[in-house]
Amino acid sequence: MKKVIALVLVLVLVAACASCGAPTGTTTTTPEAGQSAGQSAEETGGSASAEAQDGDIVLKYWITPAMANEADMQTPEEDWFIVQKIHEFEEANPGVKIDYTVITDDGSLPQMFKAAAMTNDCPDIINVWSGNTLFQLEDLVVDLTDLISKDTKDNMVGWDATTLAKDGQEKILAYPTSGNEINGFFYNKQILADCGLDYDKNPPADLDAFLKDLQTIKDKGYTPVYAADSGWSKGYLSVFAAYWQQISGKDRIVSDGGGEASFTDDEGFLQSFKIPADMYANGLMNADYASVASADDKAEFLIGKAAILAGGNGEASTIVDALGLENVGFIAPPSPADAQTKNAGIGGAGQALAISQTCENQDMAVKFLEFLASKEVHAELADHMSKLPLRTDVTAEELNIEAGSVYEQMYDAAQGYVFWVDNLLKPDVAAELMAMSAQVVIGQMTPEDLAKDLDGVAAAAE
């Protein structure tokens, strides 16, 4: 009897394992309202309209929260702006269905995409971070260089974030999307006025003037600049790295990261750390730069204790809500005297839309991405997301940006952005830079020591 029971148990177990090993069905399921918020990485999605009929072209599209704003997140997926646009495209193209899946954890999307590629179950279109995250998927996505329309290429910025330069060739791997970004210094007009400063009328002419102003602010009892590492080198990569770009330029940064040139000899690199390190050492920056939690990394500015915040346009709405539109301004990092590029802030497109190499209807996928990149839709998207447009033919007036406001200041600054330095470096070098930058800013490590460290990593990464 015991033998029989044992045999039955073994057979049941083997049958269960065999059925678990069977391939799963489609990645798409019928959407259910409000399921997207707060769930694990892969969400339910669906078709924006009726189920696909035989003969229809079906495109599978992975969407991330970069295409939805905070208001969207509170509503059912069917009401999301991007889903409405999918619906619009389907109506304009009968016989085309777009099955979307919302991936709430966009950080895990590259891993999920690689895993999907291994099981031959890739989506056709993915929304992915630009730069190195996109470039690591080079072998899985389509080279769009010859597929993008001239109008889109000529009237859009952000191609540096989606163009892979390798072995003397350049390949455009995705459309930049969602919106442009710009980072610099937000300022509290009331605090500056209390210190006798007015950056709307008289912004600092250069870095020296800026540092003098910071000392004035400090003497008045305010925290001059509030910046934070936030666990991902936010303060350096978003703002202070602009000095590296301003002094050395993009080509030198690429050469440093590739091992062809040396970080140790790169004055721009060294200055980009000496400037914030000196500010920190002289009490012109908050003492908790390296340790403040990311959730609190602008609290002091929002409650009016700090005069200036190192941050980006993605934080503008929170800042405006706290301090009032009339009390907030924005400037790009004021340049040192030896800068090649003056007063340029870090920016560029942080998001990209790529087409998988397994997509069977690449022409239709390109048509959909061209639709999203068109002036009308892109302007709506930028306005909806409260982001800066990537299309140069979308004006501030068309986005209802109030003249003289912080949004107009950011719009103007974004026209002359310099690209994220970590996206110009090899991933190993970028990772080392991100791990160590806070230590340099707070004086636990010298810029020269970091330069030597990065030279070693760059040489090993070759």
- Give the interface with another protein as residue ranges (CB under 8 A): 2-3, 6-7, 9-10, 12-14, 17, 108, 110-111, 114-115, 117-118, 132-133, 136-137, 139-140, 231, 287-288, 290-293, 296, 426-428, 430-431, 435-436, 438-439, 442, 444-445
Query: Using CA atoms, how far apart are residues 223 and 70, in angstroms rounded to an integer?
Result: 30
Query: Using CA atoms, how far apart are residues 422 and 428, in angstroms rounded to an integer?
Result: 10
| Nearest to another protein of 165, 293 (CB atom) | 293
DSSP at 49: S
| Nearest to another protein of 164, 332 (CB atom) | 164
- Kindly state the smallest distance separating residue 70's Cβ from another protein, in Å: 22
| Nearest to another protein of 144, 438 (CB atom) | 438
| Nearest to another protein of 118, 403 (CB atom) | 118
Query: Using CA atoms, how far apart are residues 438 and 458, in angstroms rounded to an integer?
Result: 20
Give the residue carrying structure tokens 């908050």: 286
Strand segments, DSSP code E, in 14-107 are 42-47, 57-63, 96-103
| Nearest to another protein of 225, 414 (CB atom) | 225
Asked whether the beta carbons of 245 and 424 are under 8 A apart, the reply is no
Query: Using CA atoms, how far apart are residues 44 and 81, in angstroms rounded to an integer?
Result: 17
- Kindly state the smallest distance separating residue 243's Cβ from another protein, in Å: 22
- Kindly state the smallest distance separating residue 2's Cβ from another protein, in Å: 5
Query: Using CA atoms, how far apart are residues 156 and 136, in angstroms rounded to an integer?
Result: 23
Q: Give the dihedral sign, CA 287/306/298/416.
A: negative
Strand segments, DSSP code E, in 346-445 are 346-355, 418-419
Query: Using CA atoms, how far apart are residues 316 and 325, in angstroms rounded to an integer?
Result: 10
Which amino acid would we find at residue 146? D
- Kindly state the smallest distance separating residue 118's Cβ from another protein, in Å: 8
- Kindly state the smallest distance separating residue 71's Cβ from another protein, in Å: 27
Which of 169, 152, 170 shows the shortest CA–CA distance to 161? 170
Which of 350, 354, 347, 349 shows the shortest CA–CA distance to 175? 354
- Kindly state the smallest distance separating residue 108's Cβ from another protein, in Å: 8
| Nearest to another protein of 7, 92 (CB atom) | 7
DSSP at 327: G
| Nearest to another protein of 59, 292 (CB atom) | 292
- Kindly state the smallest distance separating residue 247's Cβ from another protein, in Å: 25
| Nearest to another protein of 13, 193 (CB atom) | 13
DSSP at 462: -
- Kindly state the smallest distance separating residue 237's Cβ from another protein, in Å: 13
